[in-house]
Amino acid sequence: METNPLEMPLPVMESFYTIQGEGYWQGSAAYFIRLGGCDVGCVWCDVKESWDVTAHPSRTIKSLLTEVKTTAAKIVVVTGGEPLMHNLENLTRIFKENGLQLNIETSGSSPLSGEWDWICLSPKKFKKPLPDILLRASELKIIIYNKSDFKWAEEYASQVNNNCKLYLQPEWSRHKEMTPLIVDYVKQNPKWKICVQVHKYIDVP
């Protein structure tokens, strides 16, 4: 017997209703679902506890939807970890049938699954994004850890579609050093925008 799509499990590290602090939807109310599991392994990752997929309890799509519906959320952001390690077809279909906007934050290193209203692609050096996701990205967010990352950012900017929004974000532990460099770079290259992690300044999840 086939599993009811509503009962399909996903490993969930955490889920919460908050304000989107980064990128194009910055300042918008959004419900975040952070899935467990990541095979990219960024050395500066601030959620390394998400990496081990077995460390997080399974939640059904039904239970997640019920939780979202207890709030006024209209936008749901699926993040990780690396969320595309999991098949997200049923999650996005069911959530969209319930009138929700579906955004994803991904490194693009695994095949795209699901139907998304917005794809935030944040490629990592440790495992490159797949070409299909580069072409479908709504937003390219490059984390700037050192000066050489600007050249790396331009390499990816040349591969995304013409409508993709371009953002440069300082890595949080180095934001005092990197932010002035990003400001200067954006002033010289105005196709880019600076992305600041507002949620860390206003102290929300």
What was the pLDDT predicted at 163?
Answer: 98
Range of the domain at 166: 5-202
Task: Please compute the mean of the pLDDT values over residues 25-46 and round it to a whole number.
Answer: 89
Question: Domains in the chain: how many in total?
Answer: 1
Supply the DSSP symbol for 125: T
- The residue among 86, 77, 90 whose CA lies nearest residue 38 is 86
Alpha-carbon dihedral sign for residues 191, 197, 199, 201: negative
Q: Whose CA is closest to 48, among 34, 33, 31?
A: 34
Q: How confident is the model at residue 47 (pLDDT cuts 50, 70, 90)?
A: confident
Q: Which residues pair with 75 in a beta bridge?
A: 101
Token pair 């399974």: residue: 58
How much is the pLDDT for 71?
Answer: 98
Helices (H) and strands (E) in the chain, counts: 6, 9
Tens of pLDDT along 150-159? 999 999 999 9
- DSSP-assigned states of every residue in 148-175: THHHHHHHHHTTS-TT-EEEEEE-GGGH
Share of the chain above pLDDT 70, in %: 99
> C-alpha angle 142/50/87, rounded to 5°?
80
Strand partners, 142: 168
pLDDT averaged over every residue in the chain: 95
Closest Cα to residue 57, out of 18, 106, 14, 7? 14
- Is the distance from CB of 114 to CB of 92 less than 8 angstroms? yes
Q: Is 186 in a helix, a strand, or coil? A: helix
Q: Which residues contact 156 (CB under 8 A, 6 or more apart)?
A: 123, 129, 134, 140, 142
Tell me the backbone φ, ψ of residue 146, rounded to 5 degrees.
-150, 175
pLDDT band at 44 (very low <50, low <70, confident <90, very high): low
What pLDDT does 48 receive?
Answer: 81
| CATH number for position 68 | 3.20.20.70
